[in-house]
Amino acid sequence: MTDTPLRIGIAGLGTVGAATLGYLTGENARIAARAGRALRVDAVVARDRTKDRGVDMASLRWFDDPIAMASDEGVDLYVELMGGADGVAKASVEAALAAGKPVVTANKALLAHHGAALAELAERTPGASLHYEAAVAGGIPAVKALREGLAGNGVTRVSGILNGTCNYILTEMAGTGAAFGDVLAEAQRLGYAEADPTADVGGFDAAHKLAIMAAIAFGRRIDFDGVRIEGIESVAAEDIVAARDMGYVIRLLGVAERGAAGVSQRLRPCLTPAESPLGKIAGVTNAVMLEGDAVGATILTGPGAGGGPTASAVLADIVDVARGNTPPTFGVAAAALTPADDGANDADRGAFYLRVMLEDRPGTLAEVAAALGRSGISIHRMRQHDHADGAAPVTIVTHACDLAEIEAAKERIAALDVCTASPVSMRIVES
């Protein structure tokens, strides 16, 4: 055990920061024993100095400026838990790395947008390193599993349920029939949701995590702009019921995989069998499925959000820094990461679920069937749901077709006089 303490500065004392500080003070001896080195929180910064954080901070140096704390000579390790892709989070992380310090962050937005540049800065600056276990799937050690545990594999696919707030909303809506807004408010109260919850329900938060995992899995420069993103805002109660009647549940799935056209990255609500590994994931739980040529398929599940679980991942990175474990940020040297593939997202073939709202009068179904036929799509199942007024929701499951065919069919159907709302489609993913 090294007696020279690792002096830690924590920026951000919200859900994650306060929990991290609580463990580092309350469980210091246990964590330091694992680290093999004394750990001392030396300095903190947040916006409001008067706020009660549930931890005695009398002995800690308070900073008003995160960049000043990141650059301070008394801070050996900078822990960034404020959030935000740009602004002070980015500037302070850059300051710490440029000063040759290790950085631990939970900030997936920062990594997704600037991960390649930050990794290059970390790897060319002696003493600097970048650690971000908490940025992917909260308490699940997904980064370590992929980067270290599967280092010998040619990874073929990474997928999963990567946003606790959305999974909580989808399972609560299905289980209780509660309205979307009420369930989202509860997720915010429980500390699952981002400061701006549109990052959750719009799919962006999960897409950040998918882009990070895809960079590690496929040794590519991180490519957030290359993720095809669709959130859960268009998922309606009737979709959840229709899916359930067919043995499926709706989950916001992230999938990055290597195909003939390159590496695709898609984040979208999908129908998946209720009894499949991902279909069984309920509530705020996240799941990460990693598939490699040597190992086959592995799945990790656990809490993807909240103070304690996310602090667990932050603490693991702090222990790594104290031990001197500093693997390349994305698993291979930043300079060796390959460029992203263009166009791979379009090569998407499988069965789709389609919901269309139609005027309830003779001949409407025939018009929809004709539009599907003209788009080259064969119908596997079709059902008209109960309805009280003039518009009838019709749900359709197709045989395998191309994404481009579904998009063309939706355009044709939307243009029909009998169609009263934009058609909604979701991919059916059987595994």
Where do contacts with ligand HSE occur on this chain (CB under 6 A)?
Answer: 138, 163-165, 192-194, 200, 205, 304-305
Query: Taking CB under 6 A as the rule, does residue 122 contact ligand NAP?
Result: no
**Catalytic one of 51, 209, 280, 410:** 209
Site string for ligand NAP, 318-337 (x = CB under 6 A): --------------------
Angle at 203 (CA atoms; ends 199, 207), nearest 5 degrees: 100
Query: Taking CB under 6 A as the rule, does residue 315 contact ligand NAP?
Result: no
Detail the DSSP E strand segments found in 56-173.
61-63, 77-80, 102-105, 129-131, 155-161
Q: Which is nearer to ligand NAP, 9 or 138 (CB)?
A: 138
Beta-bridge mates of residue 255 = 159, 266
C-alpha 18/C-alpha 352 separation (Å) is 44
Torsion of CA 339, 340, 344, 350, to 10 degrees: 130
Q: Which is nearer to ligand HSE, 304 or 331 (CB)?
A: 304
- Piece in contact with ligand NAP (CB under 6 A), picked from 43-51, 224-232, 330-338, 387-395: 43-51
Select the binding partner of residue 285 from ligand HSE, ligand NAP, none (C-beta < 5 to 8 A, by kind). none
C-alpha 170/C-alpha 8 separation (Å) is 38
Select the binding partner of residue 345 from ligand HSE, ligand NAP, none (C-beta < 5 to 8 A, by kind). none
CA distances 88 to 15, 126, 132, 224, 366, Å, are: 18, 23, 17, 21, 57
> Is residue 73 packed enough to be buried (19+ CB in 10 Å), middle (13-18) or exposed (0-12)?
exposed
Query: Taking CB under 6 A as the rule, does residue 66 contact ligand NAP?
Result: yes
Q: Which is nearer to ligand HSE, 255 or 344 (CB)?
A: 255
Select the binding partner of residue 165 from ligand HSE, ligand NAP, none (C-beta < 5 to 8 A, by kind). ligand HSE
Minimum CB separation of residue 163 from ligand HSE in Å reads 4
Give the count of residues interacting with ligand NAP (CB under 6 A): 28
Compute the 3-state secondary structure of the chain and give helix, strand, coil in percent, each to the nearest 5: 40, 30, 35
Query: Taking CB under 6 A as the rule, does residue 134 contact ligand NAP?
Result: yes
Of 207, 212, 206, the closest CA to residue 168 belongs to 206
For ligand NAP, which residue of 2, 30, 33, 47 counts as binding (CB under 6 A)?
Answer: 47
The yes-or-no answer on residue 209 being catalytic is: yes
User: 227 and 205 in contact (C-beta within 8 Å)?
Assistant: no
C-alpha 133/C-alpha 119 separation (Å) is 14
Select the binding partner of residue 5 from ligand NAP, ligand HSE, none (C-beta < 5 to 8 A, by kind). none
Catalytically active residues are 209
